[in-house]
Amino acid sequence: MAQVLEFKLPDLGEGLTEAEIVRWLVEVGDVVAIDQPVVEVETAKAMVEVPCPYGGVVTARFGEEGSELPVGAPLLTVAVGATDASSAAPGDDGAAAEEPSGGSGSGSGNVLVGYGTGAPAARRRRIRPERNTASAAPAVPAAPAAPAVVSAPSRPAPVAVAVGEVNGRQGPVAVVSPLVRRLARQHEIDLRGLTGSGPDGLILRADVDSAIRQAGQATEAATRTAAEPVVAEASTAVASPSAAGAAAPAAAERIPLRGVRGAVADKLSRSRSEIPDATCWVDADATELMAARAAMNAASGPSGGPKVSVLALLARICTAALARYPELNSTVDTAAREIVRLPSVHLGFAAQTERGLVVPVVRDAHTRNAESIGAEIARLTELARTGKLSPAQLTGGTFTLNNYGVFGVDGSTPIINHPEAAMLGVGRIMPKPWVHHGELAVRQAVQLSLTFDHRVCDGGTAGGFLRYVADCVEQPAVLLRTL
């Protein structure tokens, strides 16, 4: 007797309460194994694949791609033991899909709150829907297990039909970027009707843009065709006052604050409302720092190594400055009315991605040198660009470095990344007139700004921190004291 089990959206950790369905990985009728990923969701922190803790036949899916579900809401239902009944279905040549075994063997290790793991992944096989064979063969009495399979909570699942009707394709839409999906939704473009120009048929933004243009041209042509008789009649008739009225104003676009954008909005609003921040800034001559970096990257032989970025050098300067001014590597416990100084420096750095602003965290940055910090920054940046950062890689920071100079701006007053106590901002490094050794010269100048929580320290401490950072930028040899 088949048993229908309901799989709910699990607690993905880090206090997340909702997730957006980006892509379904299974269809109604698919056979899934224990711990097999069934849906890709986007949370406020990362994009993750959610594994199903049950093995059997998918009988229903809840939520369309692009919809948002709260934690604990039903994701899908699985008929456990339903594959025996499917063997009696006409058109299967007596072959039934084998149910994934929950016996021996190691599971995927995907631990979900409220669920267990434990079986290896198995190959998916589609159970042919009965409605497809009804016209080709007479009705066959259902096996005893069949009612249990179809008695799962029924919600419309037109996706399984639509997949087979459009371009003869089946399976999930070949789209990776949430930006492409959002663009298609905004313009009501059916992604299943597009043929991707990317690798393995991947649908790119250019494909969606082309479909939008074609749809616009078709609409414009249809409008012209429909308007021709009207124009002919208007030439022989008197225009009414209503015909000359102004067109209705366009409706304002409303964009939901959810996902990464919603998380950023909540965190920045909380920072502004809770933290009494202040900002100080200074201009620095970065010529010597750029020369030192060029010498490092030009070195070969035993002294050579991977290229060192400017951001890695600035990060190393920050860890040295925090060792001198630990007040800025702290947080405020408002409930206990205490300042908590943190023993380790977990350095966050702001990164702009297609999904929005994210802040990956370099763990134990105070124990790393510039080369190690640079390698970790490069690794986390690549994960951020592909949307594969885990929630753990986006949380737990104690201090943030914000290099907004990559956007071509000189200065900013950044908002502190709550619950941290400070953030260093770095503008663009560019040639400027500068008084050097009493003479006017062209030097590589940069503006540094420090926004800090005034509860953890006074202006003297913040000014000392910023001045030390500027001194290290202007004279990198200062760092030799702490190496």
Q: What is Dmax (Cα atoms) for the chain?
A: 99
Answer for the pair 440, 419: CB distance below 8 angstroms, yes or no: no
Q: What tokens appear for 347 in the block?
A: 């350095």
Answer for the pair 399, 329: CB distance below 8 angstroms, yes or no: yes
Contacts of 160 (CB under 8 A, 6+ apart): 27, 28, 29, 129
Answer for the pair 126, 29: CB distance below 8 angstroms, yes or no: yes
Active site residue 454: yes
Contacts of 171 (CB under 8 A, 6+ apart): 27, 163
Catalytic site residue from 187, 366, 418, 454: 454
Answer for the pair 202, 179: CB distance below 8 angstroms, yes or no: no
Contacts of 53 (CB under 8 A, 6+ apart): 7, 34, 35, 112, 115, 116, 117
Cβ neighbours, 10 Å, residue 9 = 23
Rg (CA), the chain: 30
Q: Hey, is 9 helix, strand or coil?
A: coil
Q: How far is CA 91 from the centre of its chain?
A: 43
Element (H, E) at 378: helix 370-385
Which string of DSSP letters, residue by residue, matches 269-322?
HHHHHH--EEEEEEEEE-HHHHHHHHHHHH--GGG--S---HHHHHHHHHHHHH
* Euclidean distance between CA atoms 111 and 118, whole angstroms: 10
Pairing state between β 47-52 and 36-42: antiparallel
Query: In whole angstroms, how far apart are CA 357 and each of 265, 366, 415?
Result: 11, 24, 13
Answer for the pair 341, 329: CB distance below 8 angstroms, yes or no: yes
Answer for the pair 106, 59: CB distance below 8 angstroms, yes or no: no
Q: Compute the CA torsion angle 20, 26, 31, 33 (nearest 10 deg).
A: -50
Catalytic residues, by residue number, are 454
